Amino acid sequence: MNCELKTKERSGVINPIFTCQPAGAQFASIGIKECIGIVHGGQGCVMFVRLLISQHFKESFEIASSSVHEDGAVFGALNRVEEAVDVLLMRYPDVKVIPIITTCSTEVIGDDVDGVIIKLNEELLSTKYAGREVHLIPIHCPSFVGSMVTGYDTAVKDFVAYFAEKGEPNGKINLLTGWVNPGDVTELKHLLSEMEIDATVLFEIESFDSPLMPDGNFVSHGNTTIADLRDTANAYGTYALNRYEGTKAAKYLENKFSIPAIIGPTPIGIRNTDTFLKNLKRMTGKPIPESLVRERGKALDALTDLVHMFLADKKVAIYGNPDLVIGLAEFCLDLEMKPKLLILGDDNVTYGDDPRIKALQENVDYDMEIVMNGDLWELENRIVNEGLELDLILGHSKGRFVAIDHNIPMVRVGFPTYDRAGMYRYPVVGYGGATWLAEQMANALFADMEYKKNKEWVLNMW
C-alpha cells in the first residue's frame, strides 16, 4: 500500500498541533450572542485561550474564569462557580447564556458542576435573578481527553441539546460549519443564498471580523441567538460539514427529533463543493442555479491557469484540524499535487474509519503517510533526519518555524494563523475558497522561486 496510516511512535509531544478541549468549547461559546462562558479551572486556561483567539482574529472576546486557586484545588471549588455566575450576571446585564466549561483540574478534583447548576437554578437564579432569562449549561472538557477539536464538537452538541425544542417546522436546514473562519461563513451563506435555502448557521461568526466604528463598538461576538439554537429542532435537515466538528450535534438532532443528518464531506475544493451542492439539492429539492455554474466556471478557469503548469507534482505536507487536513489533501490531489504527509494532531481512534482516509489508502499511487496523534516534530524530523523533500507546507502558524528554518514555502491555513494578516477573512470552502487556496499556494511558490532564484524567470511570461 502506498498510503500508510500510522500513529506517532513517541509517547510525548514536541511542538503540539492542537491545544486541549476547553479551548474548543471556548471557541464555540463565543459564537453565541449574549453568551459569556465561565471556564472552571485555573486562570491560564482562559487567559491564554483568549490571547490565542485574539492573536488569530486581532479582536478580543469575553470569556470568564472561576479563578480556582490552591484552596479550591484542595477543598473543592464549586463555590467559585457560584460566585462567578453571580458576579458575571450582576455586571453583564445582557448575558443570558453561561456555559460552565470544566478543565483538567476541576475534573480531577471531581467538582460536581451539574449539581451546582441545579443548585444555582433553584436558589440564586430563582431569587436574585427571578424574571431574568439565564441558561447555565455544563460542558465537560477534561483536558486529558481528546483535543480542542473534540472540545468544540462536544460544546456544539451541548448547546444544541440544551436549547433545541420542538415547535412548528421552520422550513430551514441546520448548517453546522465546524471550526471555520468568518470568510468561510460568508462563502457558505453565499452558496445557500444562491440556492435560495434558508439555514440556521451554527455559528454565525461573520461578526468576528468586527469594524472599528465612530461610536466605539467594543465587543466582538458571534450572532447565533437562543432562538436559533431552539429552532434547530424544527429544521427539515441538518448538514454538518465536518465529520469531527459538529457531528455529535447533528446526530443528537437526528436521534432526538428525527431530523435527517448529512455529515460532510467538508466542502474544500471543487469536487467537495459540488457534493455539498448536490446534497443540498437532495435535502431541499432546490435546483443548483446557473449563477453557481458560472461561479464554478470562474474557479475552474482560475485553477486551470495554475494546475498543470505550476502545481502539478508539488510535494506538500498538511497539518491541522482533521477535516481541514483531509479536505485540503483531497483538493491538492485534484490540483495534481502530491500530499506526502498529513498530520492529525490527536488520538481519535476513529480516523481509520473515515471513508475519505480509506479512499486515500486505496487510491494514492505514491508514498504518502498519514500520522495520527501527531505533532510538528513528525514533520520536522522527517525533513531533518529522514530526507522528506517538500515544496509546500499547509498549516497553522504554530508550525511557522518548520517552514522558516527549512526554507519551505508555506500557506497559512486553519487556526491559528496569527503570523499572516487577515487570513480569517478568506474562505477555504466553496468555489471561492478553492480559488483562494490555489492562488495562495501558487503565489507562495512564485515568491519562493524569486527569493531562491529558482527559475524565477519562468514568470517573465505567463
Partner 1 sequence: MPYHEFDCSKCIPERKKHAVVKGPEDDLTKALPLGYLNTIPGSISERGCAYCGAKHVIGTPMKDVIHISHGPTGCTYDTWQTKRYISDNDNFQLKRTFATDVKEKHIVFGAEKLLKENIIEAFRAFPEIKRMTIYQTCATALIGDDIDAIAQEVMDEMPDVDIFVCNSPGFGGPSQSGGHHKINIAWINQKVGNVEPVITSDYVINYVGEYNIQGDQEIMLDFFRRMGIQVLSTFTGNGSYDELRSMHRAHLNVLECARSAEYICNELRVRYGIPRLDIDGFGFEPLASSLRKVGRFFGIEERAEKIIEEESARWKPELDWYKERLTGKKICLWPGGSKLWHWANVIHEEMGLDVVSVYTKFGHQGDMEKGIARCEVGALAIDDPNELEGLEAMYKLKPDIILTGKRPGEVAKKIRVPYLNAHAYHNGPYKGFEGWVRFARDIYNAIYSPIHQLSYLDISKDEIPDDGGFKTQRMYSDATLPEAVKTSSAMREYTGKYDIIAELRKREYPEFNKKQ
Is 23 or 191 the residue whose CB approaches partner 1 more closely? 23
In the stretch 218-237, what mask flags binding to partner 1 with x, by CB under 8 A? Answer: xxx-----------------
Q: Which of 254, 274, 334, 347 binds partner 1 (CB under 8 A)?
A: 347
C-beta of 369 vs 375, nearer to partner 1: 375
Piece in contact with partner 1 (CB under 8 A), picked from 36-44, 182-190, 197-205, 313-321: 36-44
Options 215-223, 310-318, 363-371, 431-439: segment touching partner 1 (CB under 8 A) = 215-223
Q: Which is nearer to partner 1, 87 or 459 (CB)?
A: 87
Q: Which among 448, 440, 443, 434 has a CA at the least distance from the CA of 184?
A: 434
What secondary structure, in 3-state letters, does 176-214 show?
Answer: ECCCCCHHHHHHHHHHHHHCCCCEEEECCCHHHCCCCCC
> Which residue's CB is nearer to partner 1, number 268 or number 393?
393
Member of 3, 19, 116, 159 binding partner 1 (CB under 8 A): 19
Residues in region 278-297 near partner 1 by CB under 8 A: none
3 state DSSP class of 10: coil
Cβ-Cβ contacts under 8 Å for 258 (sequence gap 6 or more): none
**Shortest distance in whole angstroms from residue 83 CB to partner 1:** 5
Interatomic CA distance for residues 281 and 273, integer angstroms: 12
In which region does residue 76 sit, left (phi positive, over 0), alpha (psi from -120 to 50) or beta (all else)?
Answer: left
Between 73 and 288, name the residue whose CB sits nearer to partner 1: 73
User: Closest approach of Cβ 105 to partner 1, in Å?
Assistant: 4
**Interacting residues with partner 1 between 51 and 110 (CB under 8 A):** 51-52, 54-55, 58-60, 62-70, 72-73, 80-81, 83-88, 90-91, 103-105, 108-109
The answer to whether 111 touches 78, Cβ cutoff 8 Å, is: yes
Cis peptide before 203 (omega within 30 of 0): yes
- Which residues in the 311-330 window bind partner 1 by CB under 8 A? none
Q: Which of 131, 214, 285, 387 binds partner 1 (CB under 8 A)?
A: 214
Compute the least distance from the CB of residue 242 to partner 1, in Å. 21
* Candidate segments 208-216, 256-264, 348-356, 453-461, binder of partner 1 by CB under 8 A: 208-216
Applying CB under 8 A, which of residues 401, 421, 450, 457 lies at the interface with partner 1?
401
Q: Grid coordinates representing 323?
A: 477535516
Which among 37-45, 229-237, 239-247, 330-338 is the span making contact with partner 1, rule CB under 8 A? Answer: 37-45
Which residue, 208, 217, 179, 203, is CA-closest to 59? 208
**Residue 314 vs 396, nearer CB to partner 1:** 396
Give 131 or 214: the residue with its C-beta nearer to partner 1: 214
Give the residue with the Cβ less far from partner 1, 79 or 186: 79
Q: Closer CB to partner 1, residue 147 or residue 273? A: 147
State which residue, 261 or 372, has the beta carbon closest to partner 1: 372
Spatial separation of the C-alpha atoms in residues 438 and 435, rounded to whole Å: 5
Q: Binding of partner 1 at residue 388 (CB under 8 A)? A: no
Residues 431, 270 contacting (CB under 8 angstroms): yes
Q: 138 φ, ψ to 5°?
A: -75, 135
Binds partner 1 (CB under 8 A): choice among 3, 5, 23, 306: 23
Please, which of residues 435-454 interact with partner 1 by CB under 8 A? none
Please say whether the dihedral angle defined by the alpha carbons of residues 318, 50, 184 and 145, taken in this order, is positive or negative.
positive
Could you tell me the smallest distance in angstroms from the CB atom of residue 226 to partner 1?
20
Q: Which is nearer to partner 1, 137 or 164 (CB)?
A: 137
Q: How many Å is the Cα radius of gyration of the chain?
A: 23
Q: Are 44 and 22 in contact (CB under 8 A)?
A: no
* Residue list 123-152, contact with partner 1 (CB under 8 A): 142-145, 147-148
Q: Nearest distance from residue 457's CB to partner 1, in Å?
A: 30
Closest approach, Cβ 122 to partner 1, in A, equals: 19
Contact 105, 72 (CB under 8 A): no
- 49 CB contacts (<8 Å, ≥6 apart)? 19, 22, 23, 26, 27, 39, 63
Judged by CB under 8 A, how many residues of this single chain contact partner 1?
A: 79
Contact between 441 and 392 (Cβ < 8 Å): yes
E strand or H helix at 445, and its extent?
helix 430-452
CB of 73 to partner 1, least distance (A): 4
For β-strands 3-7 and 173-176, DSSP reports them as unpaired
- Cα distances (Å, whole numbers) of residue 432 to 101, 259, 330, 436: 35, 29, 16, 6
Strands (E), 53-96: 64-65
